[in-house]
């Protein structure tokens, strides 16, 4: 069996996959084919049950007659004409009939008998949804390769707008924002001697009410109760700054030891957080009113949710592979001009890279219905006072003559120590004596002095890891073992896991 198909079936129905145990009625086939054509394409697999069990189709069926029947249904019920591919796959003696549909170029596709305005369907998650008027219009824009934010607002006077927020950002980059620049960025258009703004300009300046963000710090790991909440509106650049500050105010800033040097950093790399927030503003859906970007901070994650899902022509797999498809072309063009965007399609890979470098777990990016959901994990864990006291005593005894004073301050600051995921992994791994090479191999990093200082020496300095031959640090037989303070942390970490 095709392992990729097997993986797809095991994962269940999705934006690009639907199962039917038997061939459905004509209307149901047509709606699924139309929804796939209007969205990202997809496969309708006949012979798979709702529980993902492979049943197969009737082995006596005439495959060529079946293909002709389905092709006739699609031709008779759908408009414009849709030309899917039909083929079969034999799985352990059971035959699957697959209708593969590609995203169309003549958007929107619809049921003939219901018409364009009432018979257009799109794929949201694993279901077919009837498109509303705004979605139908947006599909027409996609057909001519035009985005909503490039549309001109003839009901708004350009002279009534305050361009100051945008001008300040251009000035900060040493660039001039004049009328010609506004035109080239498709932020304004001249008609009969008058200038009119585009949707993008109104959104960037915060004139549109739907361009807002809601932030909340929740208590614990659920939305049961909140500690702090804010709602930001106004120009998008100010919103970006305010959201970043809100998140910083609710994250731990820890003193991380690199070698014998202390480096202050947030438990989640701020570069990664900024990129996720920027993506939310650049790629969100601004068409439908009453939907906001939402930022939720919990004890275990920072969750950023943006409305609109991924652009219709791409899937989550495409995004993770680095494919870029811009929903708001004019807005993206401005952020690129101002150097907020470094290179098209590089954002997701850089987010993963920043988190990996910081020893933080890879963020989870999913498409949930008509929203994009990003979870960034708070990998630093607060060590209790009892561990901190044990660490402080260990440090003061072993390094008081040789370690810089700033190191001890970092251990005792606020009575807390914060460890990254890799540091935690080392403590577990070194419950038995290990060489530095074994530790670095375990982490999957190169056996280099820089990595030894970064991953091993810092924990020794903190008193959570000890050398087995302390009198000769460079001994060829040197190994490292978790100290009593480190074991106490491991024990508390196990208890936290059990109560989650």
* Domain co-membership, 229 together with 195: no
410-439 pLDDT, tens digit per residue, is: 334 434 455 667 788 899 899 999 999 899
pLDDT given for residue 340 in this prediction: 93
Average pLDDT over residues 206-223: 91
Predicted confidence (pLDDT) at residue 440 exceeds the cutoff of 80: yes
pLDDT given for residue 260 in this prediction: 58
End of a domain among 379, 407, 434?
379
Residue 30 to residue 111: CA distance in whole angstroms: 7
* Domain co-membership, 348 together with 479: no
Token digits for 446?
């190169």
CA proximity to 426, closest of 412, 444, 404:
444
* Domain co-membership, 404 together with 465: yes
* Domain co-membership, 61 together with 39: yes
* From 224-228, 359-363, 371-375, the region with the lowest mean pLDDT: 359-363
pTM, whole model, 2 decimals?
A: 0.71
Asked whether 319 and 310 are in contact (CB, 8 A), the reply is yes
Predicted confidence (pLDDT) at residue 406 exceeds the cutoff of 50: no
End of a domain among 351, 379, 407?
379
Predicted confidence (pLDDT) at residue 144 exceeds the cutoff of 90: yes
Q: Which residue has the higher pLDDT, 321 or 388?
A: 321
- Please tell me the total count of domains within the chain: 4
Residue 238 belongs to what domain range? 215-255+264-379
Q: Is residue 210 part of a domain?
A: no
End of a domain among 143, 173, 190?
143
Q: How far apart are the first and last CA of the chain?
A: 39
pLDDT given for residue 423 in this prediction: 81
* Domain co-membership, 292 together with 370: yes
Q: Which residue has the higher pLDDT, 172 or 385?
A: 172
Predicted confidence (pLDDT) at residue 179 exceeds the cutoff of 90: yes
458-491 pLDDT, tens digit per residue, is: 889 888 999 999 988 888 899 999 999 898 888 8
Average pLDDT over residues 130-142: 95
337-360 pLDDT, tens digit per residue, is: 999 988 777 889 999 999 988 888
How does the average pLDDT of the chain come out, rounded? 87
- Based on its alpha-carbon atoms, the radius of gyration of the chain, rounded to whole angstroms, reads 28
Q: How confident is the model at residue 498 (pLDDT cuts 50, 70, 90)?
A: low
* Domain co-membership, 75 together with 124: yes
* Domain co-membership, 336 together with 468: no
* Domain co-membership, 187 together with 138: no
Token digits for 96?
């699957």
């Amino acid at each position: 069996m095709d392992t990729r198909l097997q993986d797809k079936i095991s994962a269940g129905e999705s934006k690009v996959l639907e199962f039917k145990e038997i061939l459905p009625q004509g209307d149901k086939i047509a709606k699924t084919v139309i929804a796939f054509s209007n969205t990202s394409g997809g496969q309708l697999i006949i012979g798979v049950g709702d529980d993902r069990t492979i049943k197969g189709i009737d082995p006596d069926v005439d495959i060529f007659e079946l293909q002709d029947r389905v092709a006739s249904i699609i031709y008779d019920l759908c408009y414009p004409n849709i030309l899917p591919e039909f083929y079969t796959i034999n799985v352990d003696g059971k035959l699957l009939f697959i209708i593969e549909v590609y995203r169309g170029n003549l958007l929107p596709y619809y049921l003939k008998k219901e018409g364009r305005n009432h018979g257009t369907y799109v794929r949201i998650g694993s279901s077919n949804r009837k498109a509303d008027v705004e979605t139908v219009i947006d599909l027409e824009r996609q057909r001519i390769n035009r985005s909503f934010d490039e549309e001109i607002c003839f009901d708004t006077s350009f002279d009534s707008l305050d361009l100051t927020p945008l001008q300040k950002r251009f000035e900060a980059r040493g660039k001039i924002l004049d009328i010609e620049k506004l035109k080239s960025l498709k932020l304004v258009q001249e008609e009969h001697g008058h200038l009119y703004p585009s949707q993008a300009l109104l959104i960037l300046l915060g004139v549109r009410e739907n361009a807002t963000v809601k932030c909340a710090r929740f208590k614990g790991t659920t939305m049961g109760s909140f500690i702090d909440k804010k709602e930001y509106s106004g120009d998008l650049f100010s919103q970006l700054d305010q959201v970043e500050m809100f998140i910083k105010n609710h994250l731990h800033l820890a003193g991380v030891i690199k070698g014998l040097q202390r480096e202050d950093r947030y438990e989640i790399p701020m570069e990664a957080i900024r990129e996720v927030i920027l993506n939310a503003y650049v790629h969100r859906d601004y068409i439908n009113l009453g939907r906001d970007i939402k930022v939720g901070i919990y004890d275990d994650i920072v969750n950023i949710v943006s409305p609109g899902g991924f652009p219709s022509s791409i899937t989550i797999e495409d995004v993770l592979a680095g494919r870029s498809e811009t929903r708001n072309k004019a807005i993206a063009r401005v952020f690129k001009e101002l150097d907020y965007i470094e290179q098209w399609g590089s954002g997701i890979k850089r987010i993963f890279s920043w988190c990996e470098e910081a020893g933080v777990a890879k963020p989870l990016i999913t498409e949930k219905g008509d929203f994009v959901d990003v979870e960034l994990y708070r990998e630093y864990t607060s060590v209790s006072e009892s561990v901190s006291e044990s660490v402080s005593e260990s440090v003061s005894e072993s390094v008081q003559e040789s370690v810089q004073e700033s190191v001890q301050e970092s251990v005792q600051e606020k009575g807390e120590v914060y460890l990254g995921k890799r540091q935690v992994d080392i403590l577990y791994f070194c419950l038995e004596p290990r060489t530095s090479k074994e530790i670095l191999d375990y982490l999957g990093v190169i056996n280099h002095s820089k990595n030894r200082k970064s991953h091993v020496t810092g924990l020794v300095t903190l008193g959570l890891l000890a050398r087995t031959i302390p009198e000769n640090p460079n001994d060829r037989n040197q190994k490292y073992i978790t100290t009593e303070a480190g074991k106490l942390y491991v024990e508390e970490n196990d208890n936290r896991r059990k109560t989650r």
